[in-house]
Amino acid sequence: MKIYNTIMSYFWLAVATVSFVSVTYLCFTEGFDKYVSNYVFTVVALATFFVKRWMMKRVGKHTQFMQEQAKEKDA
């Protein structure tokens, strides 16, 4: 499951990058007024990347804490 979460985390980073490049290109070629609102998709993808990364660290720390509690209980 850790590999899947890592892959999906970087997937959202890739989506944010592609979205940013695409919207920037469209803004320069067809005008900012038309496409500037599409930067929202880039922001959402970046937010998803950072929240997923934060949650992965949090779950890792919690899992380690639970393992330490189980060791203390057994001892």
Indicate if the pLDDT at residue 74 is higher than 90.
Answer: no
Burial of 8 (0-12, 13-18, 19+ CB in 10 A): middle
The total of structural domains in the chain comes to 1
Instruction: Give CA–CA dist 74/1, Å, rounded.
Output: 27
Q: What is the pLDDT of residues 1-54, one digit of tens each?
A: 789 989 999 999 999 999 999 999 999 999 999 999 999 999 999 999 999 999
Task: Supply the range of the domain harboring residue 35.
Answer: 2-74
